[in-house]
Structure 1
Amino acid sequence: MNRHHSKLTSQLWVGALAITIGLIFLFDNFGLVEARDIMRFWPVIFIAIGAVKIVQGRSVPSYFVGGVFIAVGAMMIAHKLGLVYFRMRDWWPVFLIVIGIAVLLKAWYRRLPQGSSEVTDQSDTINAMAILGGYRHRDDSQNFLGGEVTSVMGGVELDLRHASIQNEATLDFFVLWGGVELKVPSDWQVVVQSVPILGGVDDRSYAAPGSNKKLFIKGMVLMGGIEIKN
């Protein structure tokens, strides 16, 4: 999937959600529908987030995180329909299990040494994940292609100042209640294409005049932040 398709997918989901909510309240004002009856299905937002994560994902951990969001949203909707009995206070330990599985998948996927939280390599692609913790990564690849960064209630520090790209590279972010600090070389142009929802992307990087190397930032930022600097 190319970066333009991924960007369009994220914007379609966010735009469709905003239009749907607006129409619900508009029709409620004219007495055509009852907004309270419809808005009780708000957990569909979790399903939408999970779907976007799976569509944009390029690794097993990403598909797993997306599947968890979809499962939680589906269970909450089924509960509201009276199909199952589901209370978050009963099921919260499952989230600890999910976090553990995600960490194991990450370790298996990347083949990292056990207990490692700081990584330096020369891989052309990266796959960084921080869940309720921190992750530091430095990549010195001279043919950097991009990768995937996930931060869920955690922090990621990504240092690419000694890396180089031939023409273009793409980093796909999923940030939920977390933060990411990204450091890039001064000869890279950063193009932000991510979709922030109650969050933000602060690009403080400076590209030298005439630079033709571009790093595309895409993905979704939910109640979190990404800071980009040199």
Structure 2
Amino acid sequence: MPQSTPAPAEVRLLDGGYSREARSLLYHAYRHEPTYAYLFEAERPGFEQRVRALVRERVRQHFLQDLPALGLLVDDRLIGIALISPPVRRLGVTESWAWRLRMMLSAGVRCTRRYLEYRAALLACLPGDAVHILPLLGIHPQFQGRHYGEQLLAAVHDWCAADESSRGVVLDTGNEHYLDFYRRQGYLEIGEVAVGPIREHVFFHPAPQRIALAPA
């Protein structure tokens, strides 16, 4: 049978009122990711709680610091989200001592240290300072395979391109399943980060070229 046409999705700039929905969506998006399985020790009891803690604390701090987040909504249900760290604010979340303390209390010292080391290695791969970073993004598993991922990334690129100082967008993944998808969206692989046995691929999407107008 032919596939039904996906329901139209609305792009919306989110605020803290979407925090609960964002946490639930991102937990489902990341709990099976190989990078997070290593960082938060999937082989040890309590893994799902540790992933929930990371998502909860990142989302809470993101909205607390009034950082941008773009969402996709279908019939007012949040089905996709991208947290965005602008160039001048990207260190704000994990550099917060309050955030680190909450992470150590909820996810453990060792897992928190692993996560911070992974983020530091990622930042070392950046092609300069003037880039936006997507620390967390995802489409709810129930809505994957319907081209919502393409719509979400296109919205992110358009939003970030409004900042004329931005050189582009950076994201990363340790899931081999997503590599070709990001390449089809125009991302270039600019580095790799070793996360235990996982090879984390770092991707960069250049900002659109702006044409300088000659004076009249």
TM > 0.5? no
Decide which structure has the larger Cα Rg and report it: 1
TM-score, with structure 2 as normaliser: 0.28
